[in-house]
Structure 1
Amino acid sequence: MKKSLGIIFIILGIIIVSYPHVKTNRNEKIQRKIVESVQGVYEEKKDIKQEVDLPKLENNNVTDILKIEKIDITLPILEDATKQNLNIAPCRILETEKPGEIGNCAIAGHRSYTYGKQFNRLDEIELGDKIQVLSKGKNYIYTVNSKFIVKPEDVWVLEGNGKDKMITLITCTPIRVGTHRLIIQGIIEEEVN
């Protein structure tokens, strides 16, 4: 009986330790599939909603790809920062502008090993670094001009200044604790067709 109980505890321990890794791998596979599908749609000029076989997403709308070479990420950007969507990939906050528009395009993402890498390395971004967003066949290149930490209730970071095309990346900090928000902001430098 004691031997059987020990084996059960060992198996449970393995499952508990493995779960975050399994979930991370699953989410990364979904993210790669979405990015590949979106890139293929842009190349063939097709309608994304009709052509991309997406996992169950709220609003079922993926139109953009986020690339930050410095931290080696290429991620889909989902529309609407719901809990379900955020568990899969970073999301544009609907009340903010779309990439390339005057105002602020705010994108939130997890910084937790449970939900894949997503924004785990966002703290490595420095002033002058580049953020790219592929949106509707255009490549928007933003230059980081601001990096700071705020409290979760400081939603003023979502506001634009009325003249610039901005991007704001938002994630929890410190990693695994999330009592505050790390904010990375940039201004558009270049638009490439």
Structure 2
Amino acid sequence: MHWEGQGSSSGPASPGDVVGWIEIPRIGLSAPVVEMANVDDRENLNKGPAHLMGTAYPGEEGNCVIAGHRTTYSRPFFRLDELSEGDAVVLTGRGGSKHTYLVRWKRIVDPDEVWVMEKTGGVVLTMIACHPLFSARKRLVVRAEAVKGTDAVE
């Protein structure tokens, strides 16, 4: 099953479309996710958590990449650094399909370390934000893996 933003009855997702919802109970995040054309699409990234077009959608094999600001605009990923291994992230598509992921690791990388956005084996989620707070010097990356048995994940 595809995340409903990709090819639902309302048509394919375009940059700026709300394509789902992200919930991270540990840090109190519950927010819509918009489609982002590419890593330079600041207009849509500034709206809140943004799914990187061309990456996997929740429940699909591969790497679902979602970026968000930590200190500007709605600062959805302000507390992303507080996540620990085993914390849950729930993504819901427009059609209501829910996919639960569990955090596996977090790292600080340089902005040019784009390997974190590359296609992966398995059903994974990669969340990215600038680091440290009030700086774009590095990137905070949190990787999570889908829990089998949640909707399309088998």
TM-score greater than 0.5 by the shorter chain? yes
1:185 equivalent in structure 2: 143
Q: Is residue 150 from structure 1 mapped to residue 109 from structure 2 by the alignment? A: yes
Per-residue CA deviation, residues 117-148 of structure 1 (Å, 9 max, x unaligned), is: 31000000000100000013211000110111
Specify the code of the residue in structure 2 equivalent to 1:62: V
2:82 equivalent in structure 1: 124
Two-structure CA RMSD over aligned residues (Å): 1.9
2:26 equivalent in structure 1: 70
Does the aligned pair in 1 maintain the 2:46–2:73 contact within 8 Å?
A: yes
- Detail structure 1 runs of 4+ shifted over 6 Å in the superposition: none
Q: Map residues 10-159 of structure 1 onto 2, 5 A cutoff.
A: 59-80=15-36, 81=38, 82-112=41-71, 114-135=72-93, 136-159=95-118
Structure with a larger share of its residues in strand:
2
CA distance in 1, matches of 2:139, 2:16: 27
Per-residue CA deviation, residues 97-120 of structure 1 (Å, 9 max, x unaligned), is: 1111000000010011x3123100
CA distance in 2, matches of 1:172, 1:111: 7
How many residues are aligned here? 138
Gaps of 5+ in 2: 1-7
CA distance in 1, matches of 2:21, 2:61: 19
For 1:168, which of 101, 126, 140 is the aligned residue? 126
Gaps of 5+ in 1: 1-45, 50-57
The TM-score with structure 2 as length reference comes to: 0.82
In structure 2, the CA distance between the partners of 1:117 and 1:48, relative to structure 1 (3 Å rule), is: farther
Give the number of the structure with larger relative contact order, counting CA–CA contacts within 8 Å between residues 6 or more apart.
2
The TM-score with structure 1 as length reference comes to: 0.67
Shift of 1:48: 5.6
Shift of 1:160: 3.3
CA distance in 2, matches of 1:116, 1:67: 15
Does the aligned pair in 1 maintain the 2:48–2:75 contact within 8 Å?
A: no
Percent identity of equivalent pairs: 35
Specify the code of the residue in structure 2 equivalent to 1:150: V
CA distance in 2, matches of 1:48, 1:68: 27
Larger Rg: 1
